[in-house]
A = this chain, B = another copy of it.
Amino acid sequence: MSLRSLALLGVAVLALAGCGSPAQHADPLPSWNAGAARERLVAFVDSVTRAGSPDYVPPADRIAVFDNDGTLWVEQPMYAQLHFAVDRLKALAPEHPEWQDDAALKAAISGDFHALGASGHEGILKVIAASHAGMSTDEFDAIARAWIRDARHPKFDRPYTALVYQPMLELLAYLRSKGFKTWIVSGGGIDFMRPWTEAVYGIPPEQVLGSQVKTSYRSDGDRPQIQREPAVHFIDDQAGKPIGIQRHIGRRPILAVGNSDGDFEMLEWSSTCPGPRLAVLVHHTDAEREYAYDRESHVGRLARGLDEAAGRGWLVVDMAKDWATMFPAAR
């Protein structure tokens, strides 16, 4: 009997028993198919958490970092935050005729995502700066909350927060149950993610790292504010990821999970250190249930990671093969 059959049988037995509360020894990763990926994840977690294991890692050092876009939730056909930014830009465009003189901003307002994609990460961040600035952090928080509540993904017609990967939700919860502290380290905007990461992923705001606009403190009057300025402070992508990890966490992760070459340095930084380490790349191979893309994609390009994963001992998760379920069931 295969591991998968056992797991399915377990689920069936639980279902037959009408068990409402989680069983003590329930499979923590029911959406992961039996196979090398699942086995390696479980073996790694066991090796660093089991008392007496030669690879035992004390709880304080059990740092796991996850990219967000394309690793924890859908990033195609465009980043959710870009969708948010475009919605904002369109609404604000009548007050800003000068935006038509900027290639990236103009492309965003007109919905020309190919041209916008061609303007690169810098172009995208320019759009974000123009659409995300000129307000206080409290105001931005309210705007982001309202948008994420109402927006729907163009293909799946579900809220973005419903398009998180069920296997990753299980992995996050499994890691936390084993004493890991789970972090998001994303190229996305830190203040765009924080309003909902706790409810959706169980990750509190202080464990979210992301790209940041410049801010300033204003204390005129009796209600001080932190104002968001139209300039980029920090891009938490590529080499920015290990730098952000060092700044915010100050420890080297023992587990790093990403899906694109923007995560390469994060995985490299986390895995090239003495002691047990695991680096994971999620490979988008499932055009039917989600999207299939890698080397040629404008969003979430993955080439170097695929080329070097085997040589570096990184685990590549094949979404079509390794994941039994893609998204949480609709509620």
A residues neighboring B (CB under 8 Å) = 60, 137, 181, 190-191, 194, 198, 204-206, 208, 212, 215-217, 219, 222-224, 226, 239, 242-243, 246-251, 265, 268-269, 272
Assembly CA distance A263 to B270 (angstroms)? 35
B60 touches A247 (CB 8 A): no
Give the nearest-CB partner of A249 in chain B.
B206
Assembly CA distance A89 to B63 (angstroms)? 35
Residues of B with C-beta under 8 A to A216: 239, 243
B217 touches A250 (CB 8 A): no
Asked whether A217 and B239 contact (CB < 8 A) given A226-B246, A247-B212, A251-B205, the answer is yes
Assembly CA distance A76 to B251 (angstroms)? 30
Q: How many copies does the complex hold?
A: 2
Q: Nearest-CB distance from A225 to chain B (Å)?
A: 9
A248 touches B248 (CB 8 A): yes
Q: Nearest-CB distance from A59 to chain B (Å)?
A: 10
User: What 5 pairs between A and B have smallest CB-CB spacing?
Assistant: A205-B250, A217-B239, A206-B249, A194-B250, A217-B242
Residues of B with C-beta under 8 A to A247: 190, 212, 215
Assembly CA distance A208 to B251 (angstroms)? 12
Residues of B with C-beta under 8 A to A265: 217, 219, 224
Select one of B217, B249, B269 contacting A269, CB under 8 A: B217
Q: Nearest-CB distance from A211 to chain B (Å)?
A: 11
A208 touches B272 (CB 8 A): no
Residues of B with C-beta under 8 A to A248: 206, 248
B243 touches A208 (CB 8 A): no
Residues of B with C-beta under 8 A to A206: 181, 248-251
Seed contacts A191-B250, A208-B250, A216-B243; 17 additional CB < 8 Å A-B pairs: A60-B204, A137-B246, A190-B247, A190-B250, A194-B250, A206-B250, A206-B251, A212-B247, A215-B243, A215-B247, A216-B239, A217-B265, A217-B269, A219-B268, A224-B269, A224-B272, A226-B246
